[in-house]
Amino acid sequence: MKLFYVSLGCPKNSIDLEEILGHLKGDIEVVEQVQEADAALVNTCAFITAAKQESIETILELAALKEEKPEFRILVAGCLPQRYREELAPELPEVDAFFSSREASRTALEIGRFLGTSGAAEAGRYRLTPRHYAYLRIAEGCDNRCSYCAIPLIKGGFHSRPLPEIIREARQLCADGARELLIVAQDTTAYGRDLTEALRLHDVLYALEDVAPVHWIRLLYTHPAHWYPELIDAMADLPKVLPYIDLPIQHISERLLKAMGRKSGRSHIEKLIGRLRQRIPSLALRTSLIVGFPGESDADFSELCEFVTQTAFERLGVFTYSHEEGTAAEGREDALPESEKKMRQDELMEIQAGISLAHNQALVGRSLEVVVDALHEDGSASARTIWDAPEIDNSVILAQGLPAGTFARVTCTGADVYDLYARSNDIGV
């Protein structure tokens, strides 16, 4: 059985697919060309409307193959059937089977049965990322109930993984070549709140610090309302934990933060950013923002633009608000037109472009540690600094490349808005 896959959505979705394929890989052959496959597995995202549309368009594109290969089968898993399975079946008759379990092992077993294989292998994850980095999930689900977000409706309530299980998987990933671990969950800073043991996120970081092959540990998906002093100390004191924090604030207007159900107001956010930057001087902060939330006024947006300008986040992304079924904000009718949302998104990104360029230009002439993600045919390479997560942040372009997975010291020779240019010095560890 030859299986082609499509991975959509966030890194947490990619982990699900890696686990599903890991269970299946004893009985199937994963192929990179869909024309070679007997079946295709689409692991979908349903976080926002655009993600749902991308998932459905991907399914329909694959369905065209059935005209040439009637025996070709399309399987759909992930967030879309987890939330909409009953509605999808009559709307997408091209799909041969939907799998709606939230557990990867159970999904793999169901897929295996459908394909006539066991789907029961316990051989670890089928890695979709380059060997030198891997995402490590420490919890699943969410209890925050932000008014715009459908994640709890898709993934259920928050539950932490036991710490020994996390460390065991970290060692397995490192044995498979990972040197950078990216810590993910719907809310990493909520880790341990549901456990009987007195464990929190800083305990996870201290335990991972002792996993010998790990070189970099990167923290993603932190909620500003859930930071605490011991976690800040761990970020500052642990050598392998990078000075990089993903801190989605979504907005800064007090009124909108309350309407979003964000549990932290402007004063708390400002104080937290101040403490983080004071305690971790080389810190890079990534944030994400939502524009066009119902009720966002011109004054609210101006306040947000001013805050972004003053705070000068090193990394920033902007999303336009979309109504999601079942969320608390769904029924609010005072949303802005899509054209206005897009204009506000563009304006914020223009502000951020200037900030990003200034940050990058300040690095010219400096020696930086990078990891090489890809060596290209022309001899150049794409790399990342300690301040950049894969796929979402800036790149470092090396004219004379090094092999993927190499950690090296480089000298920055040039900069533009979202890229650095550098020459290699000496290879690190």
Is 178:134 a contact under the CB 8 Å cutoff?
Answer: yes
Q: The whole model's pTM is what?
A: 0.93
What is the pLDDT, as a whole number, of residue 427?
52
CATH superfamily ID and name for 367-427: Nucleic acid-binding proteins (2.40.50.140)
Residue 123 has pLDDT above 80, yes or no: no
- The larger pLDDT score, comparing residue 350 to residue 426, is at 350
- Is pLDDT of 147 > 90? yes
| Residue written as token pair 């006024």 | 297
The whole-number pLDDT of residue 105 equals 83
Q: DSSP 3-state assignment of 401?
A: coil
Domain ranges of the chain: 2-115, 133-361, 367-427
Contact 291, 331 (CB under 8 A): no
28/186 Cα distance (integer angstroms):
31
pLDDT tens by residue, 192-232: 999 988 899 999 999 999 998 999 999 999 999 999 999 99
**Do residues 42 and 74 lie in contact, with contact meaning Cβ atoms separated by under 8 Å?**
yes
CATH number corresponding to 2-115: 3.40.50.12160
Question: Does residue 386 carry a pLDDT above 70?
Answer: yes
pLDDT category, 120, cuts 50, 70, 90?
low
Query: Does residue 323 register a pLDDT over 90?
Result: no
More confident residue, 106 or 389: 389
Q: Which amino acid is at 211?
A: V
**Three-state DSSP class for residue 3:** strand
Give residue 196's pLDDT.
Answer: 85
Residue 88 token pair = 């999808």
Query: Distance (Å, rounded) from C-alpha 382 to C-alpha 421?
Result: 10
- Residue 47: pLDDT over 80: no
Of 141, 174, 175, 147, the residue nearest 159 (C-alpha): 141
Residue 113 pLDDT greater than 90, yes or no: no
**pLDDT at 298 (0 to 100):** 96
| Residue 32 CB neighbours (<10 A) | 8
Confidence of residue 429 (pLDDT cuts 50, 70, 90): very low
User: What is the third-level CATH fold of 133-361?
Assistant: pyruvate-formate lyase- activating enzyme (3.80.30)
User: Percent of the chain, pLDDT > 70?
Assistant: 98
Q: Is residue 111 pLDDT above 50, yes or no?
A: yes
Q: For the chain, what percent of residues have pLDDT higher than 90?
A: 72
Least confident among 95-99, 176-180, 207-211, 424-428: 424-428
Residue 138, pLDDT > 60, answer yes
Q: What is the mean pLDDT of the chain?
A: 92
Q: Could you please report the per-residue DSSP string of 287-344? A: EEEEES-TT--HHHHHHHHHHHHHH--SEEEEEE----TTSTTTT---PPPHHHHHHH
Q: What is the pLDDT of residues 54-63, one digit of tens each?
A: 999 999 999 8
Mean pLDDT of 25-43: 90
Alpha helices in 71-189 (DSSP H): 79-91, 104-115, 151-155, 163-175
pLDDT score recorded for residue 168? 96
- Res. 88 pLDDT band, cuts 50 70 90: confident
Q: How far apart are the first and last CA of the chain?
A: 40
396 closest CA partner among 383, 408, 412: 383
Give yes or no for residue 383 having a pLDDT over 50.
Answer: yes
Asked if the model's pLDDT at residue 426 lies above 70, the reply is no
Cα–Cα distance, 272 to 294 (Å, whole number): 26
Predicted confidence (pLDDT) per residue in 262-313, tens digit: 999 999 999 999 999 999 989 999 999 999 999 999 999 999 999 999 999 9
Q: Could you tell me which of 403, 384, 427 has the C-alpha nearest to residue 177?
A: 403
